[in-house]
Amino acid sequence: MFRSQLPSVDAAAVPADAILLDVRENDEWAAGHAQNAVHIPMSEITARVAEVPEGDRVHVVCRVGGRSAQVTQYLIAQGIDAVNVNGGMLDWEAAGRPVVDGNGGDGYIL
In the chain, the domains with their CATH numbers are 3-94 (3.40.250.10)
Residues classed as catalytic: 62
Q: Distances in Å between the alpha carbon of 46 and those of 28, 42, 43, 49, 70?
A: 20, 8, 8, 5, 12
Supply the pLDDT for residue 81. Answer: 97
Count of positions (residues) in the chain: 110
pLDDT mean values, one per 10 residues, the chain (110 residues): 76 95 97 96 97 94 96 97 97 96 91
> What is the model's pTM?
0.93
Supply the pLDDT for residue 5. Answer: 86
